[in-house]
Each structure stands twice: as C-alpha cells, then as structure tokens.
Structure 1
Amino acid sequence: MAVLVTGGARSGKSRFAESYAARLASRGIYVATAQPLDDEMERRVRAHREERRLSGFAWETVEEPLDLVGLLDRLAAPGAQAGRPVVLVDCLTLWLSNHLLAVCPDGGADRARVEREMDGRIEALAGAVRRFPLPLVLVTNEVGAGIVPETALGRMFRDAAGRMNQRLAGVCDRLFLVVSGIPVDLKSIAFRMDEL
C-alpha cells in the first residue's frame, strides 16, 4: 500500500506522515532526501533525527538524495527486510530538486531536454512505487498554489513538482492533503467523471 501526503511548507505533513506510518508497522525505514549543504540545513537534519529518536517508534534512517528508485528496488528485493517495515520518504520535492539541479547546471537553457529528463525520473519513481511490496508513505510539497516563480529554473521546478505529484497520486492507494495540521483524505472525496 502506497500513501502520498502533500501540503504546504510547515503544514504538518511530515508529522502526520510519521504518525500514520507508525500505525502501519512496528518499525520503519525513514528515507531522508535532504542534502545538508549549509549550517541551517544541517541543524534541521539534526533536529529531525532527534525528534525521530525521541518518538518512541523504531526508525532506521537512510539518507538518499538521488537514487530513490534504486533504494526502493533494493528494499523491495526478496529477503531484503525481515518482517514488513513501513518505509517513509521525506520528501519527494527535495529529491526532485536534487535531480533538477543535477541535470540543469546551466539554469534551464534547454527546457525541453530538462523536462524530458525530469519526466523520465518521475516515471521511474512511479514504477518503483507501483512495484513496492511494503507499506510506503511518501511526503511531497504542494508548490502550485503560490506565486509564479521569478526564474526559469523556479518555474521548471514548480511544473515538474506538479507533474510528479499528479503521477504519484495516480499510483498511490491513498492521498492526504494536510492544511494547518489537519489531514484530509482526498481520494475518499474525489469527484469521478463516471458520476456525471
């Protein structure tokens, strides 16, 4: 079962995802995609590790900023995990940002090439999520509700994040939007065209 949790910055989505994941298994693998490239981010990473340690839930942290597809495939391999741990990935938009910066060192001069490469990575991730046999909780950011980014790179990121979120929502069993700490189960209230 795959679950996608989305929301804005500081919306409570990670806290909800961790609580939800802790109800799916007796232990978990926490996949962190952040790259602590400055002091402020390093402090955030340390604080998050400490929160998980104090949570009372048995988390094993794995840091994987780029090869998320490979990691999910390795975790899914027969015999790779004793029992059925829940896997929580936090967060997909950082993973996407890491890839965008890797494939776009020129700031996005060749937009069509960058979009093709990003869409290929998104499709590979959707395939890995669809194949994944363990409980899986994915955290992402809803970035399309804000202002239009000023730079071409920012607009490419926003567009790629929107495409990624749509694609993963399509392959996940459940989809939660968290606003001000309140989760809403979107798939349970989603309109369906066959209802017309």
Structure 2
Amino acid sequence: MKVLVTGGARSGKSGFAEAYAAKLGERGLYVATAQAFDEEMKARIELHQADRRSRGFHWDTTEEPYALAETLRSTAAPVILVDCLTLWLSNWLLRCEHEPDAERLVESRIDELADVFGSMSSPVVLVTNEVGYGLVPEYKLGRIFRDLSGRMNQKLARTADQLVLVTAGIPVELKSQAFRL
C-alpha cells in the first residue's frame, strides 16, 4: 500500500497520515525531513513529536532531510510515514540553488524517490503540500520550487495506490476517483 497525502498548509495532512498509518500496522518508522534552523521551527517540530506521542502509536523516528530514497530503500519497518516531502524538496533546492543545473539535480532526486516509492512492498504514507493553488511566486527560486513541487506530486501520485487530499481537516480520496483517459 503506497499512499500520498496532500493538501494545503495546516490542512490536517499530518494528523490524517499518522492515523491512517497507524491502521496499517502495529508500529512504524516516522521519517521527519524538517530542519530546525530557528526557534519557531524547533517549536513546530516539538509540537509534532508531542502530538505523535499522545496518539499512542509506537513510532521509531529518524530525521532525514536529504537521503530520503536511501532511507526508504534500507528500512524494513512494517509501516513507514514520511512527513514532509515539501520540506525535503526545499532542503534539496536550497542546497543546490547556486549550481548551474540546480533544477535538473533536484529533479533527479525526485525521480530516484519516485522509483523507490514505486518499488516499496511495506506500507508507505508520504505527506506533501499542494502549492499550485496560489499565486505565481514573485522570485525565480519560488517559481522553480512551485514547478518542482507540482512535478514531484504528479510523479508520486501516479505511483501511489491511493491519493488523499486533506482540506480543512476533511480527507477525500482522489485516486479511485481519478478520471481515466
């Protein structure tokens, strides 16, 4: 079972993904991609950790801001939850932004992740943000991020068994309702 959960910021994606993953196994591996560069982000991470503990499901947590495909490939956890792909993408884009072929370098990481995701036999739940509903970003790096995010989400959605959109805390399954050409 490969599941992609998407939605806007603060839409309830993470809570839904954690509850869904808890129904897929007895325990799991939580792969966190966030980096705490400031106090506000550190507080957000601590809140997420406390929320997970309060739900009673046993998570082993690993923090992996870059080597996501490698982490997925090497784990034997009964259930895997990755939160969040958008932060993982940001990490890579910021790491490569001064490279002349930054977009291509990041796209190759996305392709690697999509390949690994597609080959997973354990249940995997990936959380990502839907960033394409907003305004066109004013700055070039923002536009590149938005474009890469959209392409990443499309690639992973094609591979996923289920695609769930969470809006205002309400999950709606999209994959089974996808229009087929």
Global fold match (TM > 0.5) = yes
Let me know the Cα RMSD of the aligned residues. Answer: 1.1
Shift of 1:50: 1.1
> For the pair shown, which has the larger CA radius of gyration, 1 or 2?
1
Normalized against structure 1, the TM-score is what? 0.90
1:90 counterpart residue number: 83
2:130 counterpart residue number: 142
Deviation per residue, 1:59-86 (Å, 9 max, x gap) = 11110000001101111xxxxx3xx521
Query: Is 1:190 aligned to residue 171 of structure 2?
Result: no
Shift of 1:188: 1.5
Secondary structure, counterpart of 2:164 in structure 1 = strand
Counting matched residue pairs gives: 181
Rounded to whole Å, the distance in 2 between the matches of 1:100 and 1:6 is 20
Higher alpha-carbon deviation: 134-143 or 180-189: 180-189
2:114 counterpart residue number: 126
Alignment-mate amino acid for residue 131 of structure 2 = V
Rounded to whole Å, the distance in 1 between the matches of 2:91 and 2:69 is 14
Rounded to whole Å, the distance in 1 between the matches of 2:177 and 2:117 is 23
2:44 counterpart residue number: 44
Secondary structure, counterpart of 2:50 in structure 1 = helix
Rounded to whole Å, the distance in 1 between the matches of 2:177 and 2:52 is 32
Query: Is 1:65 aligned to residue 65 of structure 2?
Result: yes
Rounded to whole Å, the distance in 2 between the matches of 1:189 and 1:127 is 24
2:93 counterpart residue number: 100
Secondary structure, counterpart of 2:125 in structure 1 = strand
Query: Is 1:4 aligned to residue 10 of structure 2?
Result: no
Secondary structure, counterpart of 1:35 in structure 2 = coil
Rounded to whole Å, the distance in 1 between the matches of 2:114 and 2:179 is 23
Deviation per residue, 1:41-73 (Å, 9 max, x gap) = 001111111111111111111100000011011
Deviation per residue, 1:130-181 (Å, 9 max, x gap) = 1112100000000000011110000000000000000000111100011111
Alignment-mate amino acid for residue 183 of structure 1 = P
| Structure 1: gaps spanning 5 or more residues | 76-80
Normalized against structure 2, the TM-score is what? 0.97
Rounded to whole Å, the distance in 1 between the matches of 2:98 and 2:16 is 35
